[in-house]
Amino acid sequence: MKKHELALILDFGSQYTQLIAKRTRLLNIYSEIVPFNTSFEKIKEMSPKTIILSGSPFSVTTENAPIPDKRIFEMGIPILGICYGMQLITKLFGGKVSKSDKKEYGFAQITIEDKNSIFSELSNLEDVWMSHGDAVEKLPKNFHRIAFSDNSPYAAIVNDKNNIFALQFHPEVVHTKNGLKIIENFLIKICNFSKDWNSSSIIDWAINSISDRVGEDQVILGLSGGVDSSVTAALLHKAIGNQLIPIFVNTGLLRKNEVEEVQRIFKESFNLKLITIDAENIFLEKLKGVTNPEKKRKIIGNTFIDIFDHEASKYPKAKFLAQGTLYPDVIESVSFKGPSATIKSHHNVGGLPEKMNLKLVEPLREMFKDEVREIGRELGLPSNMVDRHPFPGPGLAIRIIGDVTKEKISLLQDIDNIFIQSLRDDNLYHTTWQAFAVLLPVQSVGVMGDERTYENVCALRAVSSVDGMTADWTEFPYDFLKKVSNKIINEVQGVNRVVYDISSKPPATIEWE
């Protein structure tokens, strides 16, 4: 099986590291992120065509500055250092880095002196995004300057002999106007990548990987109907056909008509025999009277595991468990990072492999979300499934503030359905990253006809985001919000007030629980 050409990214803890990988993937070039202290032997084994050094919250002037194995510079491959990566290269090659009197955070304009390689086809002046407190004071031997800014005498440097490039600014962020072109110039003109990472090649590669790993054994998959598990199911079915055992647990906490829709799509598109477990009453009984969000999540996760485990035990010949793990999940578990606070339990259910003693198959673990969506389209999944907004693993339980009952679920399903369908009808669904409704634990006074009412309040939430790490509330037209509010109040019995959440993340989270 042919191995994809690799751009290896060493992570020094930058908030932008994933963006470097995403930009390379956007150019149809395969990239992986590993911690800065990955062993030299491991790096050699991976056979990268280039190594990119990320930014970092650290300073190379401190004793605890993260430093990689210096032998990477002797591998004879091009290297690109970004921000901290540039300062690190300068220090390791004998130059001088110091605290800058004039720090640069935000937009800056660089003057380009050499447009023969990494700055090919760019203007003499380029808008870039800076984020640094240290600066190169003295160049290392055999390096020369190719760009500068008002506050950075060395905004970009290069060692032509060893093909080592270093940039003080961040080409991976969208704020750097032609950042993608700079990355493309480096990867194509300097590293000679052939752009072999595309949806067709990814599918072929994934299918071959699955077939080689699974052989004649059976694979159990917990299908939720979300993008990740659906694309995983489609890939596995294409690779191993009836060896796949897809189990769909109906928790009763899904969106309106979602169970029927998932069953229909997989039957029509793939003729997939889906095993559906109706466990609504079990989940409702377990959640009875529970109001604490974390407790809800744990109950749902543990109950799901128990039900899934019981059903899977009916297939003793199954040797593998498939999961829709994505590359950001992998990065989160292996990347270099400092102390962080736990905000809430992850939406997805975990712990199945250890309990069930099955080997894992994760065909999407090398992929970002946008790549997964593209693969889904290529495999024939309908757009209303592939392009749907994110949906939390615990489902509507964490969108009902307070205790969860069958009546509240039904009420929220109707509210949410009106909101989402209205977005689709007005061509607004794809203008926001995620939209949903929340049922609040309060009632308010209203007037309907000539009668006083005392009924439920619901909140509508929509956010614009790239990856969910930060988000801003989506500014829908007032006329649209007015129309949706009227429709919900008129058509959903038990609701007399609709509010719109205009909180950003941070300080708020996207979900309410």
Taking only the tens of pLDDT, the chain with its 513 residues reads: 457 899 999 999 888 898 999 999 999 999 999 999 999 999 999 999 999 999 998 889 888 899 999 999 999 999 999 999 999 999 999 999 887 666 666 789 999 999 888 999 999 999 999 876 778 889 999 999 999 998 889 999 999 999 999 999 999 998 899 999 999 999 999 999 999 898 888 899 899 999 999 999 999 998 888 899 999 999 999 999 999 999 999 999 999 999 999 899 888 878 888 899 999 999 999 999 999 999 999 999 899 888 988 888 899 889 999 988 888 878 766 655 543 333 344 444 444 555 667 888 999 988 888 899 999 999 989 888 899 998 888 999 999 999 999 999 999 999 999 999 999 999 999 999 999 999 999 988 876 665 667 789 999 999 998 767 788 999 999 999 999 999 999 999 999 999 999 999 989 999 999
β partners of residue 245: 220
Name the strands in the sheet holding 144-149, side by side, starting at the edge strand that comes first in the sequence. 30-35, 6-11, 50-53, 79-82, 164-167, 156-159, 144-149, 96-112, 125-138
Q: CA nearest 391: which of 375, 408, 406, 412?
A: 412
d(CA 72, CA 40) in angstroms, rounded, equals 7
d(CA 189, CA 142) in angstroms, rounded, equals 21
The three-state secondary structure class of 297 is: helix
Q: CA nearest 391: which of 342, 347, 350, 423?
A: 347
Are 73 and 43 spatial neighbours (Cβ–Cβ below 8 Å)?
A: no
The model's pLDDT over 397-447, given as tens digits with 9 standing for 90+, comes to 999 999 999 999 999 999 999 999 999 999 999 999 999 999 999 988 876
What's the confidence (pLDDT) of residue 190? 96
Amino acid at 445: V
d(CA 374, CA 84) in angstroms, rounded, equals 33
d(CA 265, CA 56) in angstroms, rounded, equals 45
What's the confidence (pLDDT) of residue 294? 93
The three-state secondary structure class of 460 is: strand
In this structure, the chain runs to a length of 513
Burial string for 464-475 (b: 16+ CB within 10 Å, else e) reads ebeebeebebbe
Q: CA nearest 50: which of 188, 232, 176?
A: 188
Calculate ∠ Cα 406-412-417, nearest 5°: 125
d(CA 132, CA 104) in angstroms, rounded, equals 6
Q: Is the pTM of this model over 0.85?
A: no
Are 25 and 197 spatial neighbours (Cβ–Cβ below 8 Å)?
A: yes
**How many Cβ atoms from other residues are within 10 Å of residue 403's Cβ?**
14
What's the confidence (pLDDT) of residue 273? 86
d(CA 348, CA 325) in angstroms, rounded, equals 10
What's the confidence (pLDDT) of residue 25? 94
Amino acid at 256: K
β partners of residue 277: 249
What's the confidence (pLDDT) of residue 504? 93
Q: Which residues are catalytic?
A: 83, 170, 172
* Residue 494: burial class (beta carbons within 10 Å; 0-12, 13-18, 19+): middle
Are 52 and 87 spatial neighbours (Cβ–Cβ below 8 Å)?
A: no
d(CA 221, CA 315) in angstroms, rounded, equals 12
* Residue 455: burial class (beta carbons within 10 Å; 0-12, 13-18, 19+): middle
Bin 257: left if φ > 0, else alpha if -120 < ψ < 50, else beta. Answer: left
What's the confidence (pLDDT) of residue 390? 87
Are 382 and 268 spatial neighbours (Cβ–Cβ below 8 Å)?
A: no
d(CA 222, CA 182) in angstroms, rounded, equals 42
What's the confidence (pLDDT) of residue 340? 34
Hey, what are 429's tokens? Answer: 């669904």
The model's pLDDT over 110-163, given as tens digits with 9 standing for 90+, comes to 999 998 889 999 999 999 998 767 788 899 999 999 999 988 899 999 999 999
The three-state secondary structure class of 378 is: helix
Amino acid at 352: L
β partners of residue 167: 82, 156
β-strand 125-138 against 96-112: which pairing, if any? antiparallel
